[in-house]
Amino acid sequence: MKHIAAIALSGMFILSCGPQDNINFVTDNIIPAPQSIVAGDGTFKVAGAGISVSEDMDAMSVAAIEKFAGRLGKVTGRKSRVCTGLKEHGISFCTDSTMGRESYRIDISARSARITAADFHGVLYAIQTIGQMLPVEYYGDTTVRDALWKLPCLTIEDAPRYHYRGMHLDVARHFFSADEVKRYLDLMAMHKMNTFHWHLTDDQGWRVEIRKYPRLTEYGSIRKQTIVGHHNDPMHKVNGNIYDNTPYGGYYTQDEIRDVVAYADSLGITVIPEIDMPGHMVAALAAYPEMGCTGGPYEVRCTWAIADEALCPGKEATFTFIEDVLTEIMELFPSEIIHIGGDECRKQFWENCPDCQRLIRKLGLRSDSRFTKEQYLQCYVTDRVQKFLAEHGRTLMGWDEIIEGDISKDAVVMYWRPGRSRMPANDGFRTVMVPAPYFYFDYYQSEHLDLEPLSIGGFIPIEKTYSYEPEEEVDPEHLDKILGVQANLWTEFISDRVNMYYNLLPRMDALSEIQWCEKGKRDFERFKKALVHQMQAYDIMDYPYSRAVFGEYGIPEKFKQEME
Ligand code: TNX
């Protein structure tokens, strides 16, 4: 009897998957491409399917599954109820702790969609994959009953190549509200990224409330005005700088920070805060000039490019400040890694500062053929901060300038300057790959500069980003030092959300495949096809993006109107 039922069912199944369904290709839409897909026959009806969850499922996963059920209900117009206790039919979620970190498996037959995940991240990523296989209306807020709410029968086995899959956002040069940052995090989650690098402070603005130092946000978050266009811009025929005469500011309260961190957590994203030091600190110096070599006065910087001023390590008060600030930062951010910048720290003030020179002598630092004594002084700062963070169970991260000199191998390094710095991984440092020529999403993405919004310069078409192979510059014995890959979005020339997403998308899609797909498994032609579906999703979600990969340039008209 059972046997007959099975035959009858498989008959229905053949009938239900006629060519008009065109469903067998939906796996081509998934970005980043899964490691393995084995196609089956037939389809599974998603609309109205019950969702069951194994009893041992953790609360965060259950919440994510409830959210998924809510979305399905909204877009299909048929409720999907979530119940505890695995069921044979319908959509079911269970965990298997023997599976690799962040991995998942999806088995779809005509009567069931079974998701087996290693952990919370696996659950999230399975949900994202399912979403990408459904009609693009899945991403909208309207009910579309007649869309093809079905999934093809198949088995997907998937796991990330790297465990550090990051995206950065600079909110110091231009500020983005906590709500906008959440929308940014939504995109990261969609791309199975798990690390948000939040660049919170710089010369042009301090953006995080620190209770012990209220002037950081009272004064340090506001610049008097902002340079228009480029500094002495030859391209735009500006001789000397023009300013907009408009004060600019913004910062996050500690409550807002906590809220963003909790939201990120629900998406499986760790937030790494960056407090950039000892350079890139002019905003803090404007608020507390006594921490500079000359004592100031300083003003929050209104131009871009690298400042000459830095914190003065020759004054012990500077270290008190650093430790106090990092203490509050550690309270706000549970991330094991804390980023302390360390990039582009000019040393001329240190060279002429009696306090710095006294400390250099006291420490016995000497210039040699490799580095100056002032570079070794920066290493002293880095090492001290590293020890402080380690005492609190945290790990220091910094830009690749931090290894100019000798520092502890406990630091994690962000490699951003190929050609100008040595590969940290080859020196035994755990390294995150962020090489500027591939991953600086503030650079132009087409050469049609007349049509593109003004950018910092450079040229990184999506094809270039996509071509990156993280292992290329690393010696075979150090490959395990590569933690992962990230892209940066610096915002000197990105002052609103339209420009932000336009620069980010769809290069972020290319980044996600580098982070996720196994070596040699990427296929640009497949990726480009998947982008068509992805762009439809962006349209529905109202994210601006560039179509340069399809030969169309510039910000789309409908978004131009939104910009000031
Ligand atoms: C370099 S990358 C910087 C940033 C700028 C960026 C502009 C790095 C560590 N420092 O301060 O915003 O270039 O592309």
Mean pLDDT for the stretch of residues 444-451: 96
Hey, what are 527's tokens? 């990726």
Residue 507, amino acid: R
DSSP type of residue 8: H
Per-residue confidence (pLDDT) for residue 241, from 0 to 100: 86
Nearest to 442 by CA among 203, 164, 163, 174: 174
pLDDT band at residue 96 under the 50/70/90 scheme: very high
Q: What is the pLDDT of residue 23?
A: 77
Distance CA 331, CA 326 (A): 8
Q: Is 344 in the pocket of ligand 1 (CB under 6 A)?
A: yes
Pairing state of beta strands 150-158 and 104-108?
antiparallel
Give the pLDDT band of residue 9 (cuts 50, 70, 90).
Answer: very low
Q: Is 281 helix (H, G, I), strand (E, B) or coil?
A: coil
CB 443 within 8 A of CB 458: yes
Pocket probe for ligand 1: among 170, 274, 488, 493, the residue whose CB has the most ligand atoms within 8 Å is: 488
Ligand 1 center–CA 436 separation, angstroms: 9
Which of ligand 1's atoms lies nearest the C-alpha of 276?
9
Annotation says 141 is catalytic: no
First to last CA, the chain: 69
pLDDT over threshold 60, residue 125:
yes
Q: Which of 158, 170, 202, 374 is catalytic?
A: 202
Tell me the CA–centroid distance for residue 76 and ligand 1, in Å.
Answer: 45
Rounded distance, CA 165 to CA 512, Å?
A: 8
Task: Report CA(174)–ligand 1 centroid distance (Å).
Answer: 14
Structure tokens at 39: 């196609």
Q: How far is the CA of 490 from the centre of ligand 1 (A)?
A: 7
Mean pLDDT value across the chain: 94
pLDDT at 14 exceeding the cut of 60? no
Residue 233: band (very low, low, confident or very high) from pLDDT cuts 50, 70, 90: low
Lowest-pLDDT range of 64-68, 207-211, 253-257, 417-421: 417-421
Q: Which residues of 256-280 are buried (b: 16+ CB within 10 A; e: fewer)?
A: bbebbbebbeebbbbbbbbbbbbbb
344 catalytic residue (yes or no): yes
- The residue contributing the CA closest to ligand 1 atom 12 is 490
CA count, 13 A, side-chain hemisphere, 424? 31
Q: Is the pLDDT of residue 17 over 90?
A: no
Closest approach atom of ligand 1 to CA 173? 12
Question: Taking 90 as the threshold, does the pLDDT of residue 405 lie above it?
Answer: yes
SS3 assignment, position 492: coil
Confidence (pLDDT) at 239: 66
Choose which residue among 174, 280, 343, 401 to substitute to test ligand 1 binding: the one with the highest number of ligand atoms within 8 A of its C-beta: 343
Find the mean pLDDT for residues 221-236.
84
pLDDT tens profile 236-285: 556 678 899 999 999 999 999 999 999 999 999 999 999 999 999 999 99
Whether residue 513 has its Cβ less than 6 Å from ligand 1: no
pLDDT at 296 over 50: yes
Q: Is 399 in the pocket of ligand 1 (CB under 6 A)?
A: yes
- What is the DSSP pairing of strand 242-243 with strand 227-228? antiparallel
CA 436 to ligand 1: nearest atom: 2
pLDDT for res 7: 35
Pocket flag, ligand 1, residue 138 (CB < 6 Å): no
Average pLDDT over residues 445-463: 96
DSSP H or E segment with residue 256:
helix 254-266
CB of 416 within 6 A of ligand 1: the answer is yes
- The predicted structure's pLDDT at residue 421: 84
Is 343 a pocket residue for ligand 1 (Cβ < 6 Å)? yes
For residue 227, which of 493, 560, 37, 533 has the smallest C-alpha distance? 493
- Which of 344, 351, 355, 410 is catalytic? The answer is 344
Atom of ligand 1 nearest to the CA of 492: 12
Residue written as token pair 């996720």: 516
Question: Does the pLDDT value for residue 401 go beyond 60?
Answer: yes
Ligand 1: atom nearest CA of 490 is 12
- Range from 23-27, 195-199, 205-209, 532-536 carrying the lowest mean pLDDT: 23-27
pLDDT (average), residues 223-239: 79
Q: Percent of the chain at pLDDT above 70?
A: 95
The reply to whether 186 belongs to the active site is no
560 contacts 452 by C-beta, under 8 angstroms: no
- What is the secondary structure of 381-404 as a DSSP string? HHHHHHHHHHHTT-EEEEEGGGGS
**Res. 545 pLDDT band, cuts 50 70 90:** very high
For residue 22, give both structure tokens: 């065109």
Tell me the three state secondary structure of residue 208: strand
CA distances (Å), 206 to each of 224, 262, 275, 376, 385, in order? 14, 22, 9, 27, 20
Question: Which residue in the list 174, 199, 230, 280 is annotated as catalytic?
Answer: 280
Please check the confidence at residue 6 and state whether its pLDDT lies above 80.
no
Q: Measured at the alpha carbon of residue 499, what is the angle toward residues 494 and 503, in degrees to the nearest 5?
A: 95
Residue nearest to atom 13 of ligand 1 (CA): 490
Q: For every residue of 88-143, which 3-state class applies, written as one string?
A: CCEEEEEECCCCCCCCEEEEECCCEEEEEECCHHHHHHHHHHHHHHCCHHHHCCCC
pLDDT band at 563 (very low <50, low <70, confident <90, very high): confident
Q: Is the pTM of this model over 0.85?
A: yes
Decide: 153 and 108 in contact? Cβ < 8 Å. yes
Distance in angstroms (rounded) separating the CA atoms of residues 322 and 216: 13
How far, in Å, is the centroid of ligand 1 from the Cα of 397? 16
pLDDT at res. 542: 97
Of all residues in the chain, the percent with pLDDT exceeding 90 is 91
Task: Identify which of 344, 432, 455, 486 to mutate to test ligand 1's pocket (most ligand atoms within 8 A of the CB).
Answer: 344
Specify the residue with its C-alpha closest to ligand 1, atom 10.
343
Atom of ligand 1 nearest to the CA of 306: 11
Alpha carbon separation from 159 to 26, 270, 316, 523 (Å, rounded): 19, 18, 47, 18
Model confidence at 184: pLDDT above 90: yes
Going from the Cα of 184 to the center of ligand 1, the distance in angstroms, rounded, reads 20
Nearest CA to ligand 1 atom 9: 343
In sequence order, the 6+-apart residues with CB closer than 8 A to the CB of 350 are 293, 310, 312, 313, 314, 356, 357, 374, 377
Ligand 1 centre from 199 Cα, in Å? 11
Asked if the model's pLDDT at residue 22 lies above 80, the reply is no
Question: Is the per-residue pLDDT at 365 higher than 90?
Answer: yes
In tens, the pLDDT along 304-313 reads 989 999 999 9
pLDDT at residue 167 above 60? yes
| 68-72, 169-173, 238-242: segment of lowest average pLDDT | 238-242
